[in-house]
């Protein structure tokens, strides 16, 4: 359940950031209210995730995954341009996220392999 709560946290925060940008500095009140509600939800779900996950790992995954999602949203929703250095940096963040979870992935694959025999 910890990773499900963390996933909800990441999605809620990423969408909140998009709505903050759409609020145009809180001039568009509806978008601002939606952003605040989503940010509140992200903190609630992060708190639930932290009951089962290590704080450092959860925080790193939250920050990294949200950064990647918002960067992708910026490209597709707001036509933001990224240079090659920014793209490489995003790739490093993705590599870090994989690195944080590689041991768990190995355990899942090994367990699946052993149980399928």
pLDDT of residue 79: 93
Distance in angstroms (rounded) separating the CA atoms of residues 12 and 45:
9
Predicted local confidence at residue 115, as pLDDT: 62
Nearest 10 degrees: Cα torsion 32, 7, 45, 65: -60
The residue ranges of the chain whose pLDDT is under 70 are: 103-117
Q: How confident is the model at residue 33, as a pLDDT?
A: 97
pTM score: 0.79
Residue 99: per-residue pLDDT: 82
In contact, 84 and 32? CB cutoff 8 Å: no
pLDDT for res 98: 83
Q: How far apart are CA 66 and CA 60, in angstroms?
A: 10
Give the contacts of 46 (CB within 8 A, at least 6 positions apart).
5, 6, 9, 58, 62
Listed by start position, the domains of the chain span 2-115
With tokens 């490093």, the residue in question is 92
The per-residue pLDDT for 71 is 94
């Amino acid at each position: 359940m910890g990773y499900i709560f963390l996933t909800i946290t990441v999605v809620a925060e990423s969408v909140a950031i998009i709505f903050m940008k759409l609020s145009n500095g809180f001039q568009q009140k509806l978008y601002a209210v939606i952003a605040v509600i989503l940010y509140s939800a992200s903190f609630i779900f992060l708190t639930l995730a932290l009951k089962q996950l290590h704080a450092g790992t959860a925080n790193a995954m939250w920050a990294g995954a949200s950064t990647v999602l918002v960067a992708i949203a910026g490209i597709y929703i707001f036509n933001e341009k990224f240079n090659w250095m920014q793209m490489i940096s995003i790739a490093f963040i993705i590599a870090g996220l994989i690195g944080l979870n590689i041991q768990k992935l190995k355990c899942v694959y090994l367990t699946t392999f052993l149980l399928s025999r």
